[in-house]
């Protein structure tokens, strides 16, 4: 867990203001450099190979204005969101249901580990075979992918339960139900969110992969369609839109987490406490 958060924050150390400002400048310069490089490459190799930044931006606006991009994006986002719920809700609920059944948890363990480790994206053709090329097969793929991630993160949240808090509540005459509701559940929420945060890009990725393989709508389908028509700019536009959805999804999960977990000390303080 701790390792995960380190990986994500990159162990960021707060820099002094002046240093931060010069860093911002560097970053801005870098952005200009990257855009310029992109433009030069597209001029040099031709837009058949690499679309230019301007053309991509224009395509993005055209797609938005015509509603085409939004339509496909809403399919992809919808598949990811429904799959996220279909997989995530049972995955978060199951460890709570199994809390008092250690034998059952132990029986399930190798199956869950297997499901967690299995290459679920490879199931895409199977789901298409079962559920057709519509939204159902994508939802199934996303749901299966999300399920195992969230199951294990919730389980570790329940296992990390602070027994001292349970004891405190029991001394105060809290019953089993109150302990579950006021101690076990709130304590597991940060872990559930870790799972959701990790699962978010996978859910959109899963939907896109299933669309690439076989679909008649969605951003993955759009990428595939435009690739067949050698419309490089179109591919860039669809990719940009997909990336936007990933960012939007991450932002949503983070915002929800910040709101629900506002009781947590800021990350820096936590790292110090761990050390």
Partner 1 sequence: MAAGAILEIRGLAKRFRARAPGAESPWIIRDLSFSVREGELLTIVGPSGAGKTTLLNMIAQTDTASGGEVRFRAQVAPLGDAKALRPGLSRQIGYITQDDNLLPWRTCLGNVLFPLEVQGRLDGQTRARAQSLVEAVGLAGFENHYPHELSGGMRKRTSLIRTLVYDPPVILMDEPFGAVDAQTRALLQADLLRLWGEGRKTIVFVTHDIAEAIALGDRTLVLSRAPASVKSEHLISIPRPRDIGGILTRPEFVTLYQAIRAEVA
Partner 2 sequence: MSALEQASLVESAPGMNRRRLLVMAGRIGLAALLVLAWQVAADTAGDLYFPQPLAVARRIAEDTASGALPWNTYVTLRLSVIGFLLGCAAGILVPFLLRLSPRLTGAVEPYIMASVGVPKYALIPLFILWFGIDDAPKLWLIGLLVFYVVFIAVFAGIRNVDARLVTMARVLGASESVISRRVIWKSLTPFFFAALKIALPRAVSAAIIGEFLVGNAGLGFVIENSRQQVDSTGVFTGILVATALVLAINAVLERADRRVNAWRPVDRHMEI
Out of partner 1, partner 2, none, which partner does residue 269 contact, by CB within 5 to 8 A per kind? partner 1
Does 213 contact partner 2 by CB under 8 A? Answer: yes
3-state secondary structure the chain: CHHHHHHHHCCCCCCCHHHHHHHHHHHHHHHHHHHHHHHHHHHHHCCCCCCCHHHHHHHHHHHHHHCHHHHHHHHHHHHHHHHHHHHHHHHHHHHHHCCCCHHHHHHHHHHHHHHHHCCHHHHHHHHHHHHCCCHHHHHHHHHHHHHHHHHHHHHHHHHCCCHHHHHHHHHCCCCHHHHHHHHHHHHHHHHHHHHHHHHHHHHHHHHHHHHHHCCCCCHHHHHHHHHHCCCHHHHHHHHHHHHHHHHHHHHHHHHHHHHHCCCCCCHHHHHHHHC
Window 178 to 197, contacts with partner 2 (CB under 8 A): 179, 194-195
The reply on whether position 212 binds partner 2 by CB under 8 A is yes
Cβ distance to partner 2 smaller for residue 88 or 220:
220
Decide if residue 243 touches partner 1 (CB under 8 A): no
**247 contacts partner 2 (rule: CB under 8 A):** yes
Could you say which of 77, 124, 188, 215 contacts partner 2 (CB under 8 A)? 124
Contact 260, 191 (CB under 8 A): no
Nearest alpha carbon to residue 242 among 262, 259, 226, 219: 219
Q: Does 175 bind partner 1 (CB under 8 A)?
A: yes
Of 82 and 183, CB closest to partner 1: 183
Q: Counting contacts by CB under 8 A, is residue 10 touching partner 2?
A: yes
x/- binding map, residues 55-94, to partner 2, per CB under 8 A?
A: ----------------------------------------
Q: Does 118 bind partner 2 (CB under 8 A)?
A: yes
264 binds partner 1 (CB under 8 A): yes
Q: Does 275 bind partner 1 (CB under 8 A)?
A: no
Least distance to partner 2 from the beta carbon of 153, Å? 5
- Residues 246 and 146: their CA atoms lie apart, in Å, by 15
**3-state secondary structure (DSSP) of residue 247:** helix
Q: Which stretch binds partner 1 (CB under 8 A): 12-20, 79-87, 134-142, 259-267?
A: 259-267
Residue 107 interacting partner from partner 2, partner 1, none (CB closer than 5 to 8 Å by kind): partner 2
Shortest Å distance, C-beta 272 to partner 1: 12
11 binds partner 2 (CB under 8 A): yes
Which residues form the interface with partner 1 (CB under 8 A)?
164-165, 167-175, 178, 182-183, 186-187, 189, 261-265, 269
């Amino acid at each position: 867990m701790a390792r995960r958060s380190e990986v994500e924050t990159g162990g960021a150390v707060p820099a002094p203001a002046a240093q931060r400002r010069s860093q911002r400048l560097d970053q801005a310069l870098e952005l200009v450099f990257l855009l310029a490089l992109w433009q030069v490459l597209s001029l040099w190799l031709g837009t058949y190979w690499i679309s230019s930044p301007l053309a991509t931006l224009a395509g993005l606006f055209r797609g938005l204005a015509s509603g085409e991009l939004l339509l496909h994006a809403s399919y992809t986002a919808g598949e990811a969101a429904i799959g996220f719920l279909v997989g995530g809700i049972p995955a978060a609920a199951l460890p709570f249901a199994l809390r008092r059944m250690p034998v059952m948890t132990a029986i399930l363990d190798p199956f869950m580990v297997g499901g967690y480790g299995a290459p679920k994206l490879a199931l895409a053709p199977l789901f298409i075979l079962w559920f057709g090329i519509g939204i159902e097969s994508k939802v199934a793929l996303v749901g299966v992918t999300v399920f195992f991630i969230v199951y294990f993160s919730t389980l570790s949240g329940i296992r990390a339960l602070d027994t001292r808090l349970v004891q405190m509540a029991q001394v105060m005459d809290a019953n089993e139900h109150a302990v579950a509701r006021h101690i076990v559940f709130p304590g597991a929420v940060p872990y559930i969110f870790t799972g959701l945060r990790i699962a978010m890009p996978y859910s959109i990725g899963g939907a896109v992969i299933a669309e690439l393989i076989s679909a008649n709508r969605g951003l993955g389908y759009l990428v595939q369609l435009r690739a067949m028509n050698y419309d490089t700019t179109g591919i860039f536009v669809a990719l940009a839109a997909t990336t936007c959805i990933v960012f939007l999804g991450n932002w949503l999960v983070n915002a929800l987490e910040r709101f629900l977990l506002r009781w947590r000390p800021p990350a820096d303080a936590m790292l110090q406490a761990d050390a």
